[in-house]
Amino acid sequence: MTKIIEPIAHPDDTKPYRLRSRLNYPSGFDRVDTACVSVIRGRGEELLHTVEVDHELLVIPTRPLRVSVSAIPADTFILRVCPYTVCLLQSGLKFDFDYARCEELLLIEVESSWFSSVRARCVSGDLNISGPIDTILHPDIPPLIHSIERHLTFPQCPHEPYVEMLAELLIARILWYLQNTGPQIMSSSGLTNGNLHTVLMRIEDQLDQCILVSDLARSVSMPPARFTRAFKATLGLSPQRYILQRRVLRVQDLLEDTQMTLADAALEAGFSSQAHMTAMFARQFGITPGEYRKHLGSKAG
C-alpha cells in the first residue's frame, strides 16, 4: 500500500494540488491500489483535463461549485451543485472540468471491480442513474467527507484503514440512495437545491462579516425557525454550525496560502477575536492555528 499525505505542488502555483491515499483491494483481488482518495485545492481554469473514466469517479465539492463539464461524446453543460453533493461520473466517458474560481473537491476514484463488489453486498436490482453525472445530496454525507479530509490532512489521525472504510461506507450509502430514491436525494423537510445554493453563496460572500440566520432565512423567503430546521435536514448541521465550520476552514486556507498573522486571519474569517478563532480551530482539528502553521513550515522544509 502506498500513501502520499503531503501536498503535491504543481510547477504552476495556480494549479491544484492533491492529498492522496491509495487503498488496498479487498481480499480475493489480484492487484493493489483499488482506489485513490484525493483532496484537491487550487485556482485555475482546468481542474480535471480529459479524465477518461474507466474507473468509477466520485467528485464531491466542499464549497459551492459551478463548473463547465464536457462529457465526451456527450454535450458540454454547466454543473452547479451545493457543497457535499456527490457527483457520480458515468464510467466509460471522458470528462473535461473547467472552473473559474478557487474550489476544494474530494475525489474518490475506484476500480470498477471494487465498486461492483460493494454494490453486490449493499444493494440488489437496478440503480436510478439518469445521465453522465448523477448527483446525490443527503445529510449523511458531510460527516463522512469531514472524516476523510481529516484523515488525509493531519498526522495525528490514522490513515489508510480508516480512509478505506469511510470511502466504502460513502459508496455503499450512495448506491443505496440511488436504488431506493434516485438522484438529488433530499429530505422532504429540507431546502431545495436552488435555495441551498443561494444561502451557501451568501455565506461565502459575507464570511468576514456578521451573518444573521434571520437574514439567510429572508433571502429564501422562509421564517427563521423553519429555515433552520430545513437547513439542518439538508446538510446535517445547523446554519450557525455551518458558518463556524466555514470560518475555521477559511482560517486553514489563509494559514496555507498567506503569511497573514493569526489575528488578521481571525478577522478575515469573521471571528470576533484571535482567542475565539484558536478555540474553534483546535476544537475542529485538534491542534491550534499556530501549531498547524508550524506543521506546514516543517513539511515545507
Q: What CATH number has the domain bearing residue 74?
A: 2.60.120.10
Digit-coded pLDDT (tens) for 92-104? 777 777 665 546 7
CA distances 13 to 17, 96, 101, 294, Å, are: 9, 20, 14, 21
CA 255 to CA 247: how far, in whole Å?
Answer: 12
One domain, residues 164 and 240: no
One domain, residues 156 and 94: yes
Digit-coded pLDDT (tens) for 49-107? 445 556 778 888 877 777 777 777 667 777 777 778 888 887 777 777 766 554 677 88
Decide: pTM greater than 0.85.
no
Which among 93, 73, 58 has a CA at the least distance from the CA of 178?
58
One domain, residues 122 and 79: yes
Which residues, in sequence order, are CB contacts of 12 under 8 Å at separation 6+?
44
One domain, residues 90 and 166: yes
pLDDT at 300 over 60: no
One domain, residues 125 and 225: no
CATH number at residue 295: 1.10.10.60
Range of the domain at 261: 193-299
164 in any annotated domain: yes
Which residues, in sequence order, are CB contacts of 146 under 8 Å at separation 6+?
none
Which residues, in sequence order, are CB contacts of 3 under 8 Å at separation 6+?
20, 21, 22, 159, 160
CA 263 to CA 181: how far, in whole Å?
Answer: 47
CA 80 to CA 64: how far, in whole Å?
Answer: 8
Q: What percent of the chain clears pLDDT 70, i.e. is strictly above it?
A: 70
CA 43 to CA 41: how far, in whole Å?
Answer: 7
Digit-coded pLDDT (tens) for 206-260? 999 999 999 999 999 999 999 999 998 887 789 999 999 889 988 987 887 788 9
